Structure 1
Amino acid sequence: MAVLKVIEVLANSEKSWEDAAQKAVAHAGKSVKNIKSVYINEQSAHVTDNKITDYRVNVKITFEVN
């Protein structure tokens, strides 16, 4: 039987929500091994002068505990 754990990570990107999610997984992967999935819990963006300047995601990352 596998034991799974979930952590919540906030990340941002100037490019896109997808890039922000990739950054969240990459950063979590530096200290967490066996990442199995990512769930996009929330998306938001910062707007300046009627343009999106920063994409933000709140993700839940699931990984297997050894």
Structure 2
Amino acid sequence: MAKKKTESVYRVTEIIGTSPVSWEDAAKTAVETAAKSLRDLRVAEVSKLDMKIESGKIVEYRARVSLSFKYEA
């Protein structure tokens, strides 16, 4: 008996996580928050890192994350 090949479709969405601590924490926050409402997350790719600066000091790290998840019609 041959195995049936399953086809899947994945959606990619871009989100931005923030943290006063680090870029790693900002990315982690983005993924953990998205996981509360998106099911079956597959891959997270950090596409951009930046910082918010006030009075010459870093006050926030920001990570732009592309997330892929299985699309259900």
TM-score normalised by length of structure 1 = 0.88
In structure 2, stretches of 5+ residues that fail to align are 1-6
Identity %: 32
Bigger fraction of residues in strand: 1
Q: Which has the larger radius of gyration?
A: 2
1:49 CA drift (Å)? 4.0
Mapped partners of 2:39, 2:55: distance in 1: 41
2:64 and 2:40 map into 1 onto residues whose CA distance is 20
The reply to whether residue 58 of structure 1 matches residue 68 of structure 2 is no
Cα RMSD for the two superposed structures: 1.2
Q: How does 1:1-66 map to 2 (within 5 A)?
A: 1-66=7-72
Greater relative contact order (Cα < 8 A, sep 6+): 1
For structure 1, which runs of at least 5 residues remain unmatched after alignment? none
